[in-house]
Structure 1
Amino acid sequence: MHGGCGVMAESDLSPADWAQARRDLGRALLAGQRVLAEDGTALDAVEAAVVVMEDSPHFNAGHGAALNENAIHEMDASIMSGADLAAGAVCAARRIRNPVRAARAVLDHGDAVLLAGAAADDFARTKGLALEDQAYFTTARREKALAAMKAHLAAGTVAGASESEKHGTVGAVALDRAGHLAAATSTGGYNNKPDGRVGDSPIIGAGTYAKDGICAISGTGKGELFIRHVLAHEIAARMRYLGEDIATASAKVVHEDLAPHSIGAGLVAVGADGRIAMPYNTQGMFRGWIAPDGTFHVATHAEIHRLDPAVL
């Protein structure tokens, strides 16, 4: 799972804040692991993991989501089952506490794949999902980031803004005991984004994709480029038609295909054989994984931390 490649410089947070962010990554891993340990589905596992990150103020999704140019939260999310390619998504939602739960409800309802704006909020209400006022999603960090991006825009220095000032996303991928794959992604988009802008996270094949027998992908980065490259599906296609493994295909799109665009990008991926890949081209990426021996690992920058799930 990932908490976005829009990670801050290590000096930007106190050691205690970094520790809390790592703990929340671990809690998200634990939520997904508990589902899988009880023979639950990969689909349920990725939803459970993403909900934890949406509830944490440390990530750009749900509580702590980015603010658009009008200081409004508009949130996107999607979820996909590799077993049957079923998918659900919401975009530009303004009141859904956990957008990934709404995306799952769209998947389960089956009439549509993507619902937008007020219709997404209304759908969530009919399904009994929790709704919140805008103030719930706002944190001081996101207000600071919005102000910083507006200042960059006024000064003509947007290109030099840090990744943490620009964007962030959360996502998870999983392989269950039945061999099924799933992926889920959720985001507030990038700070100071245009009103109504929709990125790659709710677009199946761009920011999220899963297909049994191949892989599951969740991306983070400049969504417009992910959409144009159909990034998540591109990785699956390289594996399916070129015979590349998960690490090779993932690295190709992040470090080669996107290189000419000079954007921050990263992703997490799991193959049908259980192998994982987590390439990124920024100074860090919030990320976590469970090794084959059951150990929990999380990282924000280069250093990898092993966590004890008993104390999460």
Structure 2
Amino acid sequence: MKNILQLFILFSALLFSSCQKDKNKPPVEKVNDWAIALHGGAGAMQPENYTEEQIQEFKTELGKALAIGENILKNGGSSLDAVEKVVNHLEDCPLFNAGKGAVFTNDGKNELDAAIMSGIDLQAGAVAGVGDIKNPISAARKVMEASPHVMMIGKGASLFAEKNGIAIVDSSYFYTEKRFQSLQKALERDKKMGTVGCVAKDKKGNLAAATSTGGMTNKRYGRVGDVPIIGAGTYANNKTCAVSATGHGEYFIRYTVAHDISALMGYKGLSLEEAADEVVQKKLVEVNGEGGIISVDKKGNVHLSFNSSGMFRAFSTSNGERGIAIFKED
């Protein structure tokens, strides 16, 4: 009788252990030959504030950008090329707060930031506070590949970019009436922010992340946000994931959001979804840090996480998954 009781206790313990193991098991993940995700900024977006035509216009441009990245990755191109070219498109589109659509500072100027990172070797490049580089993300890549540095700012970054064949434009290029009027409203009320970004995994398994922004409407005193800070708004590591962030940059800097997601995967063994949501839906929410991230892991799993009411976003994978959305309920 005693032996039977001992066997019953042992069996119960093994069963409990097995149940606990299943309960804590990460969600089933897929493997994609390639994957890509992009964003055009996150914030307090409500459907009633947009016309159907405006919504369609945003989705059309997100779709065009996504197609650029898809074509590169499908044809065996690198993740670095994909993220740069996607962000180039978003920088050239006046709908988004980057490049041509950059917002204005308090003194009526445009100050742009950008960063790019390669997951294969952790090489990175960034530019900050530039006002005459047509495509800051391309300048950031040039900093990564043609200099021993990670970040360049202001006039020095522009001089370096020009000497390395990056297109320089007159500051008037960045002017759009919509953004200028946003400044006038912000001078009376609040501040607006936004960013564009892209992450990708290519067929060779290499990850890359790129982010570009016009910063915060009505910003002062040379403020720089999280975008060009490696580990805050931009990060890529082949061992874990690639991340591009958007939102209130000060919080993303303080909590090194992009790197934190990677670290949770690397050190705690969390899945991409678990790690991203731990940071965006818990850590940031607890301190009122608004925004979101796009991410892809080394297996090609994509996860988009944001705690605001909307985020312009799109993604695609080699397994045929594809989506374009704006609002939380989409």
Q: TM-score, normalised by structure 1?
A: 0.91
Q: Counterparts of 1:24 and 1:13 in 2: how far apart (Å)?
A: 16
Match of residue 196 from structure 2 = 170
* Cα drift, residue 112 of structure 1: 0.8
Query: Are the structure 2 counterparts of residues 139 and 13 from structure 1 closer, same or farther at C-alpha, using a change threshold of 3 Å?
Result: farther
Match of residue 307 from structure 1 = none
Match of residue 99 from structure 1 = 136
Question: Which of 253, 275, 285 lines up with 1:259 in the alignment?
Answer: 285
1:91-141 residue CA offsets vs partner (Å, 9 max, x unmatched) = 000001110000011111132110000111111111121122222112222
* Cα drift, residue 200 of structure 1: 0.6
Count of residues paired in the alignment: 293
Note if 1:113 corresponds to 2:139.
no
Match of residue 213 from structure 2 = 187
Question: For the Cα contact (< 8 Å) 2:132–2:158, is it kept in 1?
Answer: yes
* Cα drift, residue 295 of structure 1: 4.9
Q: Counterparts of 2:44 and 2:56 in 1: how far apart (Å)?
A: 14
Match of residue 162 from structure 1 = none
* Cα drift, residue 217 of structure 1: 0.3
Question: Which of 24, 31, 52 lines up with 2:89 in the alignment?
Answer: 52
Question: For the Cα contact (< 8 Å) 1:7–1:286, is it kept in 2?
Answer: no
Match of residue 228 from structure 1 = 254
Note if 1:36 corresponds to 2:73.
yes
Q: Counterparts of 2:322 and 2:166 in 1: how far apart (Å)?
A: 30
Moved more, 77-86 or 122-131: 122-131
Query: 3-state SS of the aligned residue for 1:39?
Result: coil
Question: For the Cα contact (< 8 Å) 1:171–1:218, is it kept in 2?
Answer: yes
Q: Counterparts of 1:5 and 1:91 in 2: how far apart (Å)?
A: 21
Question: For the Cα contact (< 8 Å) 1:291–1:297, is it kept in 2?
Answer: no
Q: Counterparts of 1:177 and 1:292 in 2: how far apart (Å)?
A: 10
Q: Counterparts of 1:7 and 1:173 in 2: how far apart (Å)?
A: 23
Instruction: For 1:116-135, list aligned pairs within 5 A.
Output: 116-135=153-172
Q: Counterparts of 1:71 and 1:116 in 2: how far apart (Å)?
A: 19
Query: 3-state SS of the aligned residue for 1:278?
Result: strand
Question: For the Cα contact (< 8 Å) 2:300–2:317, is it kept in 1?
Answer: no
* Cα drift, residue 303 of structure 1: 5.4
Instruction: For 1:256-295, list aligned pairs within 5 A.
Output: 256-295=282-321
Q: Counterparts of 2:267 and 2:323 in 1: how far apart (Å)?
A: 32
1:202-261 residue CA offsets vs partner (Å, 9 max, x unmatched) = 010010000002000000011111111111000000000011000111011111111133
1:172-194 residue CA offsets vs partner (Å, 9 max, x unmatched) = 00001111100000001111111
Question: Which of 242, 254, 275 lines up with 1:249 in the alignment?
Answer: 275
Q: Counterparts of 1:280 and 1:120 in 2: how far apart (Å)?
A: 32
Partner amino acid for 2:64?
R
Question: For the Cα contact (< 8 Å) 1:7–1:300, is it kept in 2?
Answer: no
Q: Counterparts of 1:295 and 1:271 in 2: how far apart (Å)?
A: 15
Larger radius of gyration: 2
Partner amino acid for 2:307?
N
Note if 1:147 corresponds to 2:173.
no
Q: Counterparts of 1:268 and 1:296 in 2: how far apart (Å)?
A: 14
* Cα drift, residue 145 of structure 1: 1.8
Partner amino acid for 2:182?
A
Moved more, 219-228 or 132-141: 132-141
Query: 3-state SS of the aligned residue for 1:11?
Result: helix
Identical aligned pairs, as a percentage?
43
Q: Counterparts of 1:261 and 1:73 in 2: how far apart (Å)?
A: 29
Q: Counterparts of 2:244 and 2:273 in 1: how far apart (Å)?
A: 14
Q: Counterparts of 1:68 and 1:56 in 2: how far apart (Å)?
A: 19
Question: For the Cα contact (< 8 Å) 1:185–1:219, is it kept in 2?
Answer: yes
Q: Counterparts of 1:7 and 1:186 in 2: how far apart (Å)?
A: 20
Question: For the Cα contact (< 8 Å) 1:75–1:186, is it kept in 2?
Answer: yes
Match of residue 12 from structure 1 = 49
Q: TM-score, normalised by structure 2?
A: 0.86
Question: For the Cα contact (< 8 Å) 1:73–1:137, is it kept in 2?
Answer: yes
Match of residue 238 from structure 1 = 264
Q: Counterparts of 1:6 and 1:135 in 2: how far apart (Å)?
A: 27
